[in-house]
């Protein structure tokens, strides 16, 4: 039987141990490629170093209550599996994204399909990270979680990376390309937990413009956005960044 003094001591040491070891790190895994295509994808991924940058940012800015795994080359995904605390990113998804940018002749925008793919994957990683953080910290979310984590991806990229807005714009363009997959909507599209791809596209543009209206005035010129909505984008981005910084205790 543990005496009172012993249990107090035990409690004290457990608390110390939690404080000392409470900051868990992200574990980044690249599964072995299963074909030549995946070998090329893996090589590009490692060369770009974006996944490692995401990991470094999380390790530097956040104190995770448990270890988070990011697995490239997973079979399912992209998704966050709360059962095993793992973000899964299949090589096939990365390949699919690149194919879309190649087919759309994305180079004509001045951004190579490889760069745009890396951008969109980085945005996707931060989106899945958002699901992980909501689960791990039990964060309150009172709207669509999918919209919330899209906004987290936009905020983290814009606030912590020099070219963050450009990264978000590539990711937005992927939503735009994906929205072209269908001409007619079915009921299932409206039941989906995600907003429609077109809505995700415009929301991302709204955040980019809202984060830096002077530099991204072209978004107003190239779209039919009303003056009132443009003004609201500034307020919306300000609220999204302020609230995510507060929820995650970011500096
Ligand atoms: Zn999601």
37 HSE (CA, 13 A, CB side): 10
For ligand 1, the distance from its centroid to the CA atom of residue 210, given in whole angstroms, is 23
Distance 124 CA to ligand 1 centre (A): 8
Per-residue pLDDT of the chain (251 residues; tens, 9 = 90+): 444 444 544 444 444 444 334 589 999 999 999 999 999 999 999 999 999 999 999 999 999 999 999 999 999 999 999 999 999 999 999 999 999 999 999 999 999 999 999 999 999 999 999 999 999 999 999 999 999 999 999 999 999 999 999 999 999 999 999 998 878 898 999 999 999 999 999 999 999 999 999 999 999 999 999 999 999 999 999 999 999 999 999 99
Distance from Cα 21 to the centre of ligand 1, integer Å = 29
pLDDT of residue 22: 53
pLDDT of residue 13: 44
The Å distance, Cα 196 to ligand 1 centre, comes to 12
pLDDT at 183: 80
CA of 150 to the centre of ligand 1 (A): 8
pLDDT of residue 20: 37
Cα(221) to centroid(ligand 1), Å: 30
Q: What are the structure tokens assigned to 218, written together? A: 């072209």
Q: What pLDDT score does 184 carry?
A: 87
- Its pTM stands at 0.90
């Amino acid at each position: 039987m543990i005496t009172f003094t012993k249990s107090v001591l035990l409690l004290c040491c457990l608390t110390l141990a939690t404080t000392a070891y409470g900051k868990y790190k992200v574990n980044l895994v690249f599964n072995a490629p299963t074909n030549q295509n995946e070998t090329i994808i893996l090589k590009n991924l490692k060369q770009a170093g974006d996944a490692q940058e995401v990991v470094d940012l999380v390790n530097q800015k956040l104190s995770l209550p448990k270890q988070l795994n990011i697995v490239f080359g997973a079979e399912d995904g992209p998704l966050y599996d709360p059962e095993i605390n793992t973000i899964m990113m299949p090589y096939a998804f990365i390949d699919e994204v690149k194919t879309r940018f190649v087919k759309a002749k994305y180079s004509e925008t001045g951004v190579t399909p490889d760069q745009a793919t890396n951008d969109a994957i980085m945005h996707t990683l931060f989106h899945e990270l958002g699901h992980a953080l909501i689960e791990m910290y039990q964060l309150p979310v009172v709207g669509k979680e999918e919209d919330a984590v899209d906004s987290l991806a936009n905020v983290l990229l814009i606030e912590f990376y020099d070219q963050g807005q450009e990264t978000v714009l590539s990711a937005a363009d992927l939503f735009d390309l994906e929205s072209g997959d269908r001409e007619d909507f079915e009921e299932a599209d409206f039941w989906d937990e995600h907003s429609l791809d077109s809505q995700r596209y415009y929301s991302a543009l709204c955040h980019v413009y809202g984060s830096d209206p002077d530099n991204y005035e072209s978004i107003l010129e190239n779209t039919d956005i009303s003056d009132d909505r443009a003004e609201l984008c500034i307020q919306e981005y300000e609220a999204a960044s302020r609230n995510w910084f507060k929820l995650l205790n970011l500096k």
